[in-house]
Chain A
Amino acid sequence: MDSLTYPFDLAAGWLQEHAILPALYALGLMNWEEVAYGWALFAVYGATQVVVTYAICLPLERWRPVERWPDSRAVTVDIFYTLLSRVGLLPLMTFVLFYRVQVFLTGWVTDNGWVPPTIERVFPFLLGQPVLTFAIYVVILDFSEYWRHRLSHLFDWWYSLHSLHHAQRQMTFWSDDRNHLLDDTIGFVWFMAVALLIGIPPMQFPLLVLLLRFVESLSHANVRLWFGWLGERLVVSPRFHRAHHGLMAAGLASVNYGGVLPWWDMLFRTADFGHDYVPTGDPSAEEVLATGSYAAQQAAGVRRMVRTVAGRGAEPAAQSDPV
Chain B
Amino acid sequence: MFRRLSIVVLLAMLSSGAGAPSPAWAHGLVLVMNSGEASLSVVDMDTHREVRRIPVLREPHHWALTPDGRDLLVGDTAGNELLDLDPATFALRRRVPVADPYQLGFSPDGKFLTVNGNGRNQVDIYDAATLKLAKRFPLPRTPSHLAYAPDSSRVFVSLQDTDELAAIDLRTMAVAWVQKVGRVPAGVLWLNNRVLVALMNDEGFVVVDPATGRVERRVHTGAGAHQLFLSPDKKVLWVNNRVAGTTVALDSETFAEIRSYRITGGPDDIAFAPDGKLWITQRFARTVAVLDPASGGIETIAVGRQPHGIFLNPAATAATLSASN
B262 CB, min distance to chain A CBs, angstroms: 12
CA distance in complex: A2, B283 (Å): 16
CA distance in complex: A115, B95 (Å): 11
A270 CB, min distance to chain B CBs, angstroms: 35
Decide yes or no whether B116 CB sits under 8 A from chain A: no
Can you name the residue of chain B whose Cβ is closest to the Cβ of A21? Answer: B243
B147 CB, min distance to chain A CBs, angstroms: 20
B contact residues around A116 at 8 Å (CB) = 80
Q: Is the CB of B201 within 8 A of A30?
A: yes
Can you name the residue of chain A whose Cβ is closest to the Cβ of B38? Answer: A204
B285-301 vs A, Cβ < 8 Å mask (1 yes, 0 no): 11000000000000000
A contact residues around B183 at 8 Å (CB) = 28, 30
Question: Which of B55, B81, B265, B302 interacts with A13 by CB under 8 Å?
Answer: B265
Q: Is the CB of B242 within 8 A of A110?
A: no
Decide yes or no whether B143 CB sits under 8 A from chain A: no
Decide yes or no whether A155 CB sits under 8 A from chain B: no
- Most chain B C-beta atoms within 10 Å of own C-beta, residue among A5, A30, A121, A201: A30
Decide yes or no whether B74 CB sits under 8 A from chain A: no
Q: Which of B96-104, B208-216, B310-318 contacts A (4 or more CB under 8 A)?
A: B96-104
Decide yes or no whether A97 CB sits under 8 A from chain B: no
A contact residues around B79 at 8 Å (CB) = 118
Decide yes or no whether B19 CB sits under 8 A from chain A: no
Can you name the residue of chain A whose Cβ is closest to the Cβ of B118? Answer: A103
Known contacts A13-B285, A17-B264; is A5 also within 8 Å of B305 by CB?
A: yes
Decide yes or no whether A111 CB sits under 8 A from chain B: yes
A226 CB, min distance to chain B CBs, angstroms: 37
Known contacts A13-B286, A103-B120, A127-B56; is A30 also within 8 Å of B200 by CB?
A: yes
Q: Is the CB of A13 within 8 A of B284?
A: yes
Among B180-230, those with CB < 8 Å from A are 183-184, 200-201, 223-224
Q: Is the CB of A100 within 8 A of B119?
A: yes
Q: Is the CB of A102 within 8 A of B243?
A: no
Can you name the residue of chain B whose Cβ is closest to the Cβ of A114? Answer: B97
Decide yes or no whether A284 CB sits under 8 A from chain B: no
Can you name the residue of chain B whose Cβ is closest to the Cβ of A102? Answer: B78
CA distance in complex: A13, B183 (Å): 24
Q: Is the CB of A103 within 8 A of B224?
A: no
B48-74 vs A, Cβ < 8 Å mask (1 yes, 0 no): 000000111111000000000000000
Among A278-318, those with CB < 8 Å from B are none
Question: Which of A22, A30, A118, A127 interacts with B184 by CB under 8 Å?
Answer: A30
Decide yes or no whether B161 CB sits under 8 A from chain A: yes
Decide yes or no whether B247 CB sits under 8 A from chain A: no
Q: Is the CB of A17 within 8 A of B142?
A: no
Decide yes or no whether B245 CB sits under 8 A from chain A: yes
Known contacts A31-B184, A203-B36, A204-B37; is A21 also within 8 Å of B286 by CB?
A: no
Among B160-183, those with CB < 8 Å from A are 160-161, 183
Q: Is the CB of B120 within 8 A of A104?
A: yes
Known contacts A13-B286, A31-B161, A128-B55; is A25 also within 8 Å of B78 by CB?
A: no
Known contacts A107-B117, A115-B97, A128-B55; is A33 also within 8 Å of B242 by CB?
A: yes
Q: Give the number of A-B contacts (CB < 8 Å).
A: 108
A contact residues around B302 at 8 Å (CB) = 2, 6
B222-242 vs A, Cβ < 8 Å mask (1 yes, 0 no): 011000000000000000001
Q: Is the CB of A16 within 8 A of B200?
A: no
Q: Is the CB of B285 within 8 A of A108?
A: no
- Most chain B C-beta atoms within 10 Å of own C-beta, residue among A12, A16, A107, A127: A107
Q: Is the CB of B119 within 8 A of A17?
A: no
Among B92-134, those with CB < 8 Å from A are 97-100, 117-120
B28-45 vs A, Cβ < 8 Å mask (1 yes, 0 no): 000000001110000000
Known contacts A30-B201, A127-B56; is A25 also within 8 Å of B224 by CB?
A: yes
Q: Is the CB of B100 within 8 A of A37?
A: no
Decide yes or no whether A10 CB sits under 8 A from chain B: yes
B contact residues around A12 at 8 Å (CB) = 284
B76-87 vs A, Cβ < 8 Å mask (1 yes, 0 no): 011111000000
A88-130 vs B, Cβ < 8 Å mask (1 yes, 0 no): 0000000000011011101111110001101011000001100
Decide yes or no whether A183 CB sits under 8 A from chain B: no
- List the 5 closest A-B pairs by CB distance, nearest first: A103-B119, A128-B55, A13-B284, A107-B99, A30-B201
20 interchain pairs, CB-CB under 8 A: A6-B286, A6-B302, A9-B36, A13-B285, A16-B284, A22-B243, A28-B201, A31-B161, A31-B200, A31-B201, A99-B119, A100-B119, A103-B77, A106-B80, A109-B80, A115-B80, A127-B57, A128-B54, A201-B58, A201-B78
Residues of A within 8 A of B (CB): 2, 5-6, 9-10, 12-13, 16-17, 21-22, 25, 28-31, 33, 37, 41, 99-100, 102-104, 106-111, 115-116, 118, 120-121, 127-128, 199, 201, 203-204
13 further contact pairs, Cβ within 8 A, besides A2-B302, A10-B285, A22-B243: A6-B302, A9-B36, A9-B286, A9-B305, A16-B266, A25-B224, A30-B243, A31-B161, A41-B36, A103-B78, A103-B118, A111-B99, A127-B55
